[in-house]
């Protein structure tokens, strides 16, 4: 008996309005194993609930052994034709479409011809080159992330997994275990880590090695591990090169750039640009990099201790991105605002993240300082794990577990 899927409403509510649109291709991207295929299954289930018959739903999983030999555009076209006998609108789902050379021609050829098309790929190469030039304005990208904290709690409850009433403990569990949906189903931390390690290897073999020339795997792994170990830190390619040289690794800047690009293309890493709030310009050079999931850090390290500074920033960054916010880091003179956000209606907000401000007045003043320097009237938030909340100069102090755990918006 198939396990009933936990519905990921965060994404389904964004996609529902396009279920029956035959003119727009729905493209799902995201790191491997983040749940894209499951979301396609959820959509198929909802279509059936709406009265669409099974014959009109075509699902082609190009990682499945049944379709593993489908490698060319002609073979993909035939696979689709063989399942297209039904009358009326057909709902076509193709999983891991980047496995087929020239898939763009096939998809473009049937778009608008009684097909509502949904495709997935594990990396941003899917939206490069041919697809971008041929389908500009004809596709919508839905970027899928591993479970955010709200979904993590919801999925544990859905599958009757033990949840602690103390949300601080659940927060620690989430940061340690990460949000890959399958990890929720495993009972031990060791099993969860083993699974994430296998995902890292799969990404390297299927998403990076096939597309990026890597002469020395051990050098790539040292660069990868250095960046993962320093997630949430600000650095440029130049400063990264210096740090690696200091650690005994001689490497050219061009090589570092290629490796960083490969990690962002595979969606292990996300680049967060920095923005100078006085000049209203993006800052070139130094960037911040966040992980699509903190499990990448803990699966490559034996130390289970949580460094809450970068970990909580990472949690908020991926939560914001899962809720469709544009996110950048703000600089105000010598101070930094952790996040400047913008939603789809062009509403802005400023967010500072800290484990606690309860340790001392000095800590409290430091965390409020950058927000208090911002002179416009957009909302300002200080996000901490504190339960004792305060108000100061119009800045809203919120508890992270309550705010993010219940899916609230900034």
Check whether 305 has a pLDDT greater than 90: no
Band of pLDDT at residue 340, cut at 50, 70 and 90: very high
Q: What pLDDT, on a 0 to 100 scale, did the predictor assign at position 137?
A: 65
Confidence grade of residue 22 (pLDDT, cut at 50, 70, 90): very high
Q: Inform me whether the pLDDT recorded for 122 exceeds 90.
A: no
Q: Which has more pLDDT, 385 or 247?
A: 385
33 pLDDT band (50/70/90 cuts)? Answer: very high
Overall pTM surpassing 0.85 (yes/no)? yes
Q: What string of H, E and C letters represents the secondary structure of the chain?
A: CCCCCCCCHHHHHHHHHHCCCCCCEEEEECCCCCCHHHHHHHHHHHHHHCCCCHHHEEEEECCCCCCCCCCEHHHHHHHHHCCCCCCCCEEEEEECHHHCECHHHHHHHHCCCCEEEEEECCCHHHHCCHHHHHCCCCEEEEECCCCCHHHHHHHHHHCCCCCCCCHHHHHHHHHHHCCCHHHHHCCCHHHHHHHHHHHHHHHHHHHHCCCCCCCCHHHHHHHHHHHHHCCCCEECHHHHHHHHHHCCCCCCHHHHHHHHHHHHHCCCEEEEEEEECCCCEEEEEEEEEEECCCHHHHHCCCCCCCCHHHHHHHHHHHHHHHCCCEEEEEEECCEEEEEEEECCCCCEEEEEECCCCCCCHHHHHHHHHHHHHCCCCCCEEEEECCCCCCEECCEEEEEHHHHHHCCCCC
Residue 339 has pLDDT above 60, yes or no: yes
Domains of the chain: 9-143 (3.40.50.300)
195-221: per-residue pLDDT in tens? 999 998 898 888 888 778 898 898 999
**pLDDT for residue 392:** 95
> If pLDDT is split at 50, 70 and 90, which confidence band does 124 have?
low
């Amino acid at each position: 008996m198939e396990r009933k899927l936990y519905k990921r409403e965060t994404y389904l509510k964004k996609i529902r309005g396009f279920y029956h649109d035959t003119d727009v291709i729905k493209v799902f991207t995201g790191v491997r194993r983040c749940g894209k295929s499951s979301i396609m299954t959820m959509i198929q289930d909802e279509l059936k609930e709406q009265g669409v018959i099974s014959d009109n739903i075509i699902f082609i999983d190009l990682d499945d052994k049944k379709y593993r030999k489908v490698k060319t555009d002609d073979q993909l076209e035939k696979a689709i034709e063989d399942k297209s006998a039904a009358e009326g609108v057909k709902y076509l789902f193709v999983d891991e479409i980047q496995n087929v050379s020239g898939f763009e021609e096939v998809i473009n050829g049937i778009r608008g011809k009684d097909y509502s098309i949904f495709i997935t790929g594990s990396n941003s190469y899917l939206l490069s080159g041919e697809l971008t030039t041929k389908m500009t304005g004809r596709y919508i990208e839905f970027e899928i992330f591993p479970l955010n904290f709200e979904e993590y709690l919801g999925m544990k409850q859905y599958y009757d997994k033990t949840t602690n009433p103390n949300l601080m403990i659940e927060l620690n569990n989430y940061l340690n275990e990460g949000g890959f949906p399958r990890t929720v189903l495993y009972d031990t931390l060791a099993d969860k880590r083993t699974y994430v390690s296998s995902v890292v290897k799969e990404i390297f073999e299927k998403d990076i090695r096939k597309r990026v020339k890597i002469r020395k795997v051990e050098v790539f792994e040292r660069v990868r591990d250095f960046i993962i170990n320093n997630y949430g830190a600000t650095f440029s390619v130049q400063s990264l090169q210096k740090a690696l040289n200091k650690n005994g690794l001689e490497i050219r800047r061009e090589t570092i750039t290629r490796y960083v690009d490969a990690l962002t293309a595979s969606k292990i890493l996300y680049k967060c640009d920095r923005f100078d709030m006085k000049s209203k310009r993006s800052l070139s050079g130094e960037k911040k990099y966040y992980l699509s999931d903190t499990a990448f850090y803990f699966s490559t390290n034996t130390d289970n201790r949580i460094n809450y500074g970068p970990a909580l920033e990472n949690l908020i960054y991926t939560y914001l991105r899962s809720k469709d916010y544009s996110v950048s880091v703000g600089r105000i003179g010598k101070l930094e605002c952790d996040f400047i956000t913008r939603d789809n209606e062009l509403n802005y907000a400023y967010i500072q993240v800290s484990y606690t401000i309860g340790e001392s007045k000095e800590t409290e003043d430091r965390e409020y300082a950058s927000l208090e320097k911002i002179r416009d009237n957009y909302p300002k938030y200080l996000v901490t794990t504190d339960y004792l909340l305060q108000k100061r100069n119009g800045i809203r102090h919120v508890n992270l577990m309550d705010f993010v755990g219940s899916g609230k918006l900034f």
